Amino acid sequence: MPPEQRARPQEPQPKAAPPRRRSGRPPAQADDAWGFPAPWRSESLALNVLLLPLRAYKRLIYDARPNVVTRKTRDADWARLRSQWRWANGLVCYFGPPGSILWGIKWPLLLCIVVAGAVIADALATGDVLVSQSVEDSVFTIWRLSSFMLALLMSARVNRAYERWWAARTAFAGVGTAAITVAQQAAVWVADPQLQSELVRWAKVWPYSVAHLLLGRPDLPPPAAELLTRDEALLYARAPKGRQLVVLRLRQLAAAAGLDAARFLQMDGAIAKGVAESGATVRIKFQCMPYSLTLICTGFLEIWLLLMPFALIPDNPSGPTVRHVAFGLICYCLVCILLLGVDEAASQLENPFPSLPIEEMAASNMRDISRMVGEAAALEAAGAARLKPGCAWPAPPAAGAAANGGLGGGGGGGGGGGGGGGGGGGGGGGGGGGGGGGGLDGGEGGGGVLPVSLPAAV
């Protein structure tokens, strides 16, 4: 593709210096991976004192937790995940990233607190309990037995949600692997530099086209959009399924590359495997877990928690003091938070893509493709410098067969049968060359190879 047809990004303009305050300090900026603001850089002492709780909250909740949701897990992240801070993070795991669990369960938790408070207030006001003493043991037994079924339902839901998350992770990684494989095959097998460049370019766009759908973005991510021309970008924007447009273009380029049947099948197989992995991610995206099962798991848990106060109210409600009642209500709230948090985490994992580093994986695939193409060119140059003057690089498909005398003679005979191609019975590399000539004279011929003299030591 001519370079003038490419949609080149605008040259970055020099950024103006940030406005300085009277003290000469730059304004406050976000200073961590989570994008948490740092307003305590203000000069006001009173404001700094007021923001001390916010500092402590940020230190405990944000700074101590590595961002392994939108970024891949690296060595530094593993060290932080295994540090002693994990115990403190476990105590306050319902606050802040990555799940913000407490915010997600605020309404069912509030409902449980209201019901428990109403049951306790009624018992204290009337001097009697809603569940009579004669059936209290039966009610408590039923409530306790139902907890076993609750444990089974919650375990099944968490396991299925995690399986969806891991399946989405491996499927999207498979798309990137397929794109890298196609680009590598193009760099090694395609002789035409323009076709090779086109295959590599569209292979870079492929993972981003899948990420575009999975993340629900309105436009193609900028790193991939910059690789498309204006006409290609318009076609992609108009296509109902942009990822299929990218796959179609890859197959068009593979067909135009003039590869032999074996290599074409290998390249098309890599594309087909990437299409299958892409389809797996799309199925996860557009098919939730069975809704009736989700409702049963969530409803069973919520109803079980709402019935807990009826089963645990003491026989003599006038006996406990306010302190005892308050302590019991706090324990009940903690139990609700623990169990509702499990359901909220499973609900978040049911749609796994916001919890995966999709964009970083696509960017990593693009970097790998660019690096691999450069390494292929460097290896080709290094290999060509080491080969003897009569050698060819890259080696033709049947170079090994051409070096064999018997196979070379067979190739020559095939050429002679097609059109009397020269050197039918020739030995060694010469026989292979004769077979090629016979193919040109007599139609298809025997598919001969060029004469190649291999180096003495390989």
The tokens for 11 are 């040259």
- pLDDT at res. 375: 93
Supply angle C-alpha 129, 131, 132, rounded to 5.
Answer: 85
| Cα separation, 362 vs 204, whole angstroms | 8
Residue 300 Cα distances to 97, 102, 154, 194, 202, angstroms: 27, 20, 10, 61, 49
Contact 156, 301 (CB under 8 A): no
Backbone angles phi, psi at 46, to 5 degrees: -65, -40
Cis? peptide before 389, omega within 30° of 0: no
As a whole number of angstroms, the distance between CA 243 and CA 209 comes to 5
The mean pLDDT of 363-372, rounded to a whole number, is 96
Q: How far apart are CA 312 and CA 120, in angstroms?
A: 10
What average pLDDT does the chain have? 78
Please give the average per-residue pLDDT across 19-48, as a whole number.
Answer: 51
Q: 371, 184 in Cβ contact below 8 A?
A: no
CA atoms within 13 A on the CB side of 208: 22
The one-letter amino acid at 205: V
Highest-pLDDT range among 339-343, 399-403, 444-448: 339-343
pLDDT band for 84, please (50, 70, 90 cuts): confident
- pLDDT interval class at 29 (50, 70, 90): very low
Kindly report, residue by residue over 403-433, the tens digit of the pLDDT: 344 433 333 333 333 333 333 333 333 333 3
Q: What is the mean pLDDT of residues 87-107?
A: 88
- Residue 411, judged by CB atoms within 10 A of its CB (0-12, 13-18, 19+), counts as buried
Q: How far apart, in whole angstroms, are the C-alpha atoms of residue 76 and residue 33? A: 13
Region of poorest pLDDT, from 2-11, 52-61, 217-226, 236-245: 2-11
Measured over the CA atoms of residue 157, residue 159, residue 161 and residue 163, the dihedral's sign is negative
Q: Is the Cα torsion angle 76, 81, 84, 86 positive or negative in sign?
A: positive
| φ, ψ (nearest 5 deg) of residue 15 | -80, 140
pLDDT in tens, 176-193: 999 999 999 999 999 999
Torsions phi, psi for 236 (to 5 deg): -65, -40
- Write the pLDDT tens digit of every residue in 158-179: 999 999 999 999 999 999 999 9
When mean pLDDT is compared across 60-74, 186-200, 266-280, the lowest value belongs to: 60-74
Radius of gyration of the chain (CA): 34
DSSP string covering 120-160, please? HHHHHHHSS-SS-HHHHHHHHHHHHHHHHHHHHHHHHHHHH
Contact 305, 336 (CB under 8 A): yes
**Average pLDDT rounded to a whole number, residues 110-115:** 94
- Which tokens hold the place of 455? 């180096």
Exposed/middle/buried for residue 387 (C-beta within 10 Å: 0-12, 13-18, 19+) = middle
Confidence of residue 102 (pLDDT cuts 50, 70, 90): very high
Q: What are the boundaries of each domain within the chain?
A: 99-381
Q: State the pTM of this model.
A: 0.72
